[in-house]
Amino acid sequence: MDRLTLHEDPRSGNCYKIRLTAALLGLPLERRQYDILRGDTRTKEFLQNVNADGRIPVLQIDDRFLPESNAACWYLAEGSTLVPTDRFERADMLRWMFFEQYNHEPNVATLRFWLLFVGEANLSSFQRDQIMVKRAGGEAALGMMNDHLSKRNWFVGERASLADIALYPYTHVCEAGGFRLRDYPAVCAWLNRVSGLKGYVPMN
């Protein structure tokens, strides 16, 4: 594997996904930290050299740059035990990773960001108007995860895969966004299975 550098804000669950994947696989990962609240990813240097989109995480592989957390996890894990060998299961793993970015992150992660880092008093009225819809969307996503996990230990197949890695970070800190983990017992049991994996590293 080439030299790997993670451009990250350590408070971001999307960044943590990549760090967790690398840790579980025993891959060395250099870390370059930015403060997104201070605008570190909007500087001319960042936009020109790292990501024109101004977003993190970005996984740097030698001199090539890969945005999108789940794509970076895929790059690191392809061919490893974190990606199922069965064709259907591999696609089903991606299914949960797309679910994470479409149904879970925009609700569960955004409410954590707003309430924990921006602060409720500092939200715009536009943001405040969205809280209830994002609450309902996040609860639906957590409920769907709980239903799925009530019949199985891992999202896909018989062992941990990138589907679990992608869904773990924002789920395990969802209470900071006002969600109640105790409402999802199968999710709680699964969180413990993930944090018990060999090589696991915590978020902070």
| Residues of this chain that bind a copy of itself (CB under 8 A) | 52-53, 61, 64, 66-72, 74-75, 78, 87-88, 90-92, 94-95, 97-99, 101-102, 105-106, 126, 129, 133, 144, 147
Residue 32 phi, psi dihedral angles, 5° rounding: -120, 120
Least Å distance between CB 112 and a copy of itself?
17
Q: Residue 93 or residue 194: which is nearer to a copy of itself going by CB? A: 93
Least Å distance between CB 162 and a copy of itself?
11
Q: Residue 30 or residue 147: which is nearer to a copy of itself going by CB? A: 147
Least Å distance between CB 75 and a copy of itself?
4
HEC per residue, 85-144: CCHHHHHHHHHHHHHHHHHHHHHHHHHHHHHHHHCHHHCCHHHHHHHHHHHHHHHHHHHH
Q: Residue 52 or residue 201: which is nearer to a copy of itself going by CB? A: 52
Least Å distance between CB 95 and a copy of itself?
4
Q: Residue 99 or residue 190: which is nearer to a copy of itself going by CB? A: 99
Count the Cβ atoms, other than its own, within 10 Å of residue 92: 17
Q: Residue 138 or residue 192: which is nearer to a copy of itself going by CB? A: 138
Least Å distance between CB 146 and a copy of itself?
12
Q: Residue 10 or residue 106: which is nearer to a copy of itself going by CB? A: 106
d(CA 73, CA 54) in angstroms, rounded, equals 19
Least Å distance between CB 105 and a copy of itself?
8
